[in-house]
Amino acid sequence: MLDYFELPCEEEPRAMMVWLHGLGADGYDLEPVAEMLGVVGIHHVFPHAPVRPVTINNGMAMRAWYDITAPDLRWQEDSDGMSDSARLVQELIDSLGKASGLPVVLAGFSQGAVVSLVTSVLGSRKVRGVVAMSGYVPEFLSPALASLRDTSVLMMHGEQDEVVPVRLGRAGAEKMDASGIDVVWHSYEMPHSICQQEIMDVGLWLENLLALNQAA
């Protein structure tokens, strides 16, 4: 099972939010983002990706959710690696006992955004919401996107992203919208990173999502 750490909330939890970091980082990378959300009642969970060789980085071993072979992220897409990581994330969610009975929101940056989307499609348990920051929809997932129709998706991207081109993120959001999925798109004047306005927008989206969930 994935190694992870948690930030339980002092209040009665309203949701569990699982944060998936980007290539070469670890779970601690997104802890400050979670702390800046300003949303009470969230049980935050931060898994660490397995260590594996990454082709584009000369085979160097690092924490990665899947392999990348070239700057063109659609070239030889590692669908097996993405699916394996999605299964590990689902296994972690299922193992968290009482917390796993809460509505689940997945949030990821870059590779973590991709695996958040894959997990929400392939996972055995429905995910209530997905925050995909600087990510994209992998090609192999496209035929199964209809299963996201009960999931709210927030896609966010930097207009000057030099790692994951903004056109990939935008194309994924447009594809989900055409499939009848509840998707919101935001872009920002920034590179491959996370900005303060983006964090504020995540907090607002999350509050709205939880309000809708409570009213249902």
Q: For 155-205, how does the pLDDT look when each residue is reduced to its tens digit (9 = 90+)?
A: 999 999 999 999 999 999 999 999 999 999 999 999 999 999 999 999 999
With 70 as the cut, is the pLDDT of residue 215 above it?
no
Q: Does 161 qualify as catalytic in the annotation?
A: yes
Cα–Cα dist 128/139, whole Å? 23
* Selected catalytic residue, list 83, 85, 110, 120: 110
Percent of the chain with pLDDT over 90: 83
Q: What is the pLDDT of residue 151?
A: 95
pLDDT digits (tens, 9 = 90+) for 27-37: 999 999 999 99
**pLDDT the model gives residue 52:** 97
Choose, from 21, 44, 157, 192, the residue flagged as catalytic: 192
* Average pLDDT of the residues in 106-119: 98
Active site (annotated) includes residue 79: no
pLDDT of 216 over the 60 cut: no
Domains recognised in the chain with CATH numbers: 4-215 (3.40.50.1820)
> In the numeric block, which tokens belong to residue 194?
């996370």
Whole-structure pTM value: 0.96
Instruction: Report the 10 Å Cβ neighbour count for 180.
Output: 11
Is the pLDDT score of 119 beyond 70?
yes
For residues 154 and 148, the answer to whether their CB atoms sit within 8 Å is no
Lowest mean pLDDT among 69-78, 115-124, 189-198: 69-78
Q: What tokens were used for 119? A: 């997990």
Residue 213 banded pLDDT, cuts 50, 70, 90: confident
**DSSP notation for the chain:** ---EEEE--SS---EEEEEE--TT--GGGGHHHHHHS--SSEEEEEE-PPEEEEGGGTTEEEE-SS---SSSTTTT--HHHHHHHHHHHHHHHHHSGGGGGS-EEEEEETHHHHHHHHHHHH-SS--SEEEEES----GGGGGGGGGGTTSEEEEEEETT-SSS-HHHHHHHHHHHHHTT-EEEEEEES-SSS--HHHHHHHHHHHHHHHHHHHH-
Catalytic choice (29, 67, 78, 161):
161
Q: Is 192 a catalytic residue?
A: yes
Whose CA is closest to 204, among 152, 159, 127, 157?
152
Q: Which two tokens stand for residue 127?
A: 């995910």
* 70 in Cβ contact with 76 (< 8 Å): yes
Burial label, 101 (beta-carbon count in 10 A; 0-12, 13-18, 19+): exposed
Specify the pLDDT at position 76: 85
Which residue type does 76 have?
Answer: Q
